Structure 1
């Protein structure tokens, strides 16, 4: 039975994408809550009282302010994550609308005098919610200083509007203090949520950079080894070849000796290059497991190893399985979001079975780019050359299992 499309899309997302989606919709709910709470406050406190036409228009205007705040949250979160400039235009427009609605709500609504009915609290609630919602959006969309300045200006507009309605000093102080405290708490919560999303993205980028650095370091080591081996020999070959040319032009018999020496150096260089390549390709299973565990733990992946019979494996089998460990660890770092990873090796019946399992694969994998998966394909070819197989059929939703099976009956065990 296929899952609903929203669930498939959710499972196909990476962890940073899920965190960002959660934060984004949490902020949207703050903007949506403004007109809903305003309507609820009016319905609860103004029951049985006639409201002016202007005040009803203000109530409808709250829907516009809520929609503008959603835009501010949307563009502001993208700006906070470094994907676009700060949306100053949207923030100013939304702030102007919210400030105007606060002023209109207090001036067109019931009076705030002490002997006024309970309906007089509705305009103050609407004005406070309008200011609080905009300040919350501005805390994400704008730099801290400008968000604070805008919040103070909007709070001042709210205080002046409340004073124009004839409210007493105590009521004015309470409304202003409540607006400041509510705005501060809501803005701090929204800013922390956006900061959490940015930290998750930064950690994901750091993991990718760590994997790229590991590959670059290995390439650098190989290039350094080749330079050390070939640099001096190639310089000697060039020098002796030039000397042989000069001697040959003078018809000197020593030219033959020089070319013989060039031939010998070239053969030595060829042998040394083969040794370097052989040393690069030869890996030791325990060393690779230790290195993989160290790198994965540095990336906050809980890595465990279960080895049975590894000490008796021949060198050739250790080399092949070591490459499986190296490629599997690289895939965990680059293509998954695993929290734990297990390397399990069993040797029985003349066969070595290596399983690598992690929990960082989405149930619905993202589409692969053309040419992707060359690492696993290369591993399959390497194992096939020794009579082994590579299998991922044991994978399950949310988990990935790589199984390498290598026969060792025809290989000589280490003494």
Structure 2
């Protein structure tokens, strides 16, 4: 959500920001709605003052026995009451119109975000790790999983339809091992407090993080009006909604391991084979709430936490700074971590870490009061995958595959696998 007063004071900066997002929105149009509302409010205040003054005069006229004047004043008060009610309705309508317009505008990109329409303008920040070399043609993850008899898309389709999977035996355990490894690192080493949040949220929560109203088609909704979370970012970030935090409470760093549910609207024909793009998947999510002067630092820290997990798993990856046209709507700056998948022969996204500035905080009315100041400020919110569990499973299968179709277990996961060294081995 944007501050209309900031837009009024910085129209050129706003226009540049939305243009970088590829939108044809003008500050002047928004300011015109805002100023029209201000004019209504000024007239409303004047009519309210007239009504109050007339009401006081009625008693005086009655007290002096001037019934004619009292009747005149009573009629004037009634007329003013009707005028006030009409102006109040105009104010509500203009406020709703402005809020609706502002709610649909994405966050403005940070100054160092590359300007571009799509992923073609993303900037490579660094590549880390060595890609594995094979003496055979590496397979894709679904070929490996199906070859082991541990990954079943047909059974899932019979139960739920496309974009679901059934994992069996050691592969189901491997996914659980990855998830537990991630959440243990986040909470025991990286300073995040583990949260077990609701998986169903109300409209207000989805609006607060920016999924509503614009991206409802990407979500699943229950018949009684709840939304299934597409990421734990929704409940975790909304933990501070409608709150005023003290400086000593910040930063708030929380993490959760949850299932996630996405409709994948618009993904027809994309990644139809395998587990890359599923309706249901598990993910460890990191969320940070901090002061407005520390969010850039927290973004680097959060990205570093996600990178550490990939390094410990021995997976090659690259860090991309997303362009203005490729970022999520709520983000002002995003790093994507892309892991190397030898079966596909390319890097694929496994984590996004974003600084949302005060965009979500304004929608949630989440603030803090700096020490020594009377006025509050909006907090800054950040979120990041630490990591997507299913895509990490894909990466482990493809990077640790062996020619006989089995898969070696990365060293850091062996304690979570009961000492199993090889999946599919005898």
Q: Shared fold by TM > 0.5?
A: no
Structure 1 or 2: more strand by fraction: 2
The structure whose RCO (Cα within 8 Å, separation 6+) is larger is 2
Structure 1 or 2: more helix by fraction: 1
TM-score, normalised to structure 1, is 0.24
Structure of greater Rg: 1
TM-score, normalised to structure 2, is 0.23
